[in-house]
Amino acid sequence: MRRSLSCLAVLAAASSAAGQAAPPRAPGAAPAAATKHGDATDDLDDDDVAPPAKVAAPSKAEPDRGAKPKALPPPVVPRADEQEPRPVFGAGATEAERHLEIGPDFGIWSRPAKGETVEYAPGFAWGAHVRAELLPFLGLRAYFDNSTHAVDVPRGALGLDGTQIEQPDLQVFQLGARLEPTFMPAPTLRLWAGVGVAWARATAPAPSSTGAMQIRHADRSGVFLEYSGALGATWDFVPRWLAATLSVSGGLLTDPSGDLFDEAPVNDGAGGTAKMGGLPEFSASYVAQLGVGLIL
C-alpha cells in the first residue's frame, strides 16, 4: 500500500514539474511553426510573433467605381453631300461644286423703231453667256448677243421723194453684264431676277434704191446703251453638268450716236447729191431666250 502511494506521489510531482516548464500561451497567439532544414526541425521561439497577413492590392484592371466616366467628344457635323435626303437650303448642297456656267444662247429679239415711218422687225438672236456664283443667292452674268432685224422703208421716206430705198438687215452686236439675285426652291432649280447694262453697236449695210434716184452710199453704224431688267429660271437637267435657262427681258435704250442715225449726203446717180435722212433710233428692247450651260 505504501508502495502504491509512493508511485502516485512521484507521478504527481513529475506532472507538476512539466507544467511549470512550459510557459502559458498568449491569447490569440499562433502556434509555433516548424521549419525543416535537411533532416533537422527547428521550432520557433515562444517569444516570436507571426507577421501580419498582407492585404492584396486592388487589380488595376478593375474599374474604380467611384471615378466619373470620361465624356465622349461631340459627333462630327456631316457634310451636306453626305446627308440623306440631301438638304434643299443647306449651304454647299450644290453651290460648293458650282462656280461657273458657260454656254450658248438663242432667242428672238425685238427692237422697235421710234416713229411710224420706218419699221424694224423682230429677229433671230444668238450669243453666249458666262454666269459666276458670287454668293449662294447672287449670280453675275456676262453675255454677248448678235441679232438681225429686217428694215422696212416706205417709198419716198428718208427725204428722198419718188425713191424706194432697199435697206439690208441691221446687224446688232451687244455686250453686257447683269446681277441676278437668285432663289432656290430645289437643288436643281434656280429662279432669278436681274438688272444690268449693255453696250451695243448697230450696223446698216449700204442701201440700194429704185425710182427717181439711184443713190450710192457706204455702210453706216451707230452705238447706244441699254439698261435692262430680266426674269429667268435655270434648271440643272443633268445635275452638276448641264443646265438650261429660259429668260425674258426688257430694256430702255439711251445715248444713241453715230452716222446711222444722222442725215448724210448721197450721190443721186446723175452727178448730183441729195440729202438722205438717218434711220430712226430704237425705242425699246425686248428678248426671249433659251440658253444651255456647262456647269464648271
Rounded to whole angstroms, the Cα distance separating 237 from 234 reads 9
Q: Is the pLDDT of residue 93 over 60?
A: no
Q: Hey, how many other C-beta atoms are within 10 angstroms of the C-beta on 169?
A: 16
* Per-residue pLDDT, 124: 97
- Does this model's pTM top 0.75? My answer is no
pLDDT > 70 in the chain, percent: 68
Q: What mean pLDDT comes out for the span 256-263? A: 91
Domains of the chain: 91-295 (2.40.160.20)
Q: Are 260 and 223 in contact (CB under 8 A)?
A: no
pLDDT digits (tens, 9 = 90+) for 55-64: 555 555 555 5
- Residue 288: name the closest of 232, 237, 243, 244 by CA: 232
* Per-residue pLDDT, 53: 55
Residue 21 binned pLDDT confidence (cut-offs 50, 70, 90):
very low
- Residue 126: name the closest of 296, 292, 295, 294 by CA: 292
Rounded to whole angstroms, the Cα distance separating 77 from 83 reads 10
Residue 268 has φ and ψ, to the nearest 5°, of -85, 0
Q: What mean pLDDT comes out for the span 100-107? A: 96
Q: Are 44 and 25 in contact (CB under 8 A)?
A: no
Highest mean pLDDT, choosing among 166-180, 212-226, 264-278: 166-180
Q: What mean pLDDT comes out for the span 157-184? A: 92
What is the rounded (10 degree) CA torsion for 229, 220, 170, 253? 20
Peptide bond into 85 cis (omega under 30): yes
Residue carrying C-alpha cell 449700204 = 206
Higher pLDDT, 54 or 294: 294
